[in-house]
Amino acid sequence: MADFSKRNAMNHFIDTLNFRMLQLVFMIRDAISPPEKKITEAGVKTGFLVLDYGCGPGGFTIAAAKMAGPSGRVYAVDRNPLALESVKNRARTNTLSNIELIHSDCRTGLKAGVIDVVLMYDVFHELDASSSVLTEVHRILKPCAVLSLSDHHLTEGEILTGVRGDLFDLTHKGKYTYTFSKK
């Protein structure tokens, strides 16, 4: 039993260390290329309901929450509890009360057709079930809403092949993001 506890403690330590290193990398990324650039390109406006899928430590979540304002709401979705804890702490530091955390690797639990913009930045390459995630994103988006995607780990061809199909059409290729609309 003691060996099991030691392994669990070691695994938790390694997971936490890995996340903290990722947090540092994202802080540097956000300093070099502010999240607002991508979010502005996504068209986030005051009062919007936004979903940040694979929110990580929350750089895009915080920026989107500021842009959506008190009348908007940002749903931060991640499978990693440490990511959600980071978003929670950053929201508190920035005195933002328009962020809701969702612990999931696919299903959001949101009603169909309620979201104005889904942000999916630097996460598409990590999805185990991208078709299930895209189906969920399609379900929760309003009819004229958009999926804003960027992933520097993938080529343009991989992004377009991975997203286009029965659910989405590419409507705009921006400087930082690809914008897809629901079919």
Contacts of 7 (CB under 8 A, 6+ apart): none
- Parse the chain into domains and list their residue ranges: 34-182
Under the banding of pLDDT at 50, 70 and 90, the label for residue 21 is: confident
**Per-residue pLDDT tens digits for 91-138:** 999 999 999 999 998 999 999 999 999 999 999 998 887 999 999 999
Contact by Cβ (8 Å): 59, 26: yes
34-182: which CATH architecture? 3-Layer(aba) Sandwich (3.40)
In this predicted structure, what is the pLDDT of residue 20? 74
Contact by Cβ (8 Å): 133, 127: yes
- Cα separation, 124 vs 149, in Å, equals 8
Please identify which residue in the block is written with the tokens 């990590």: 126
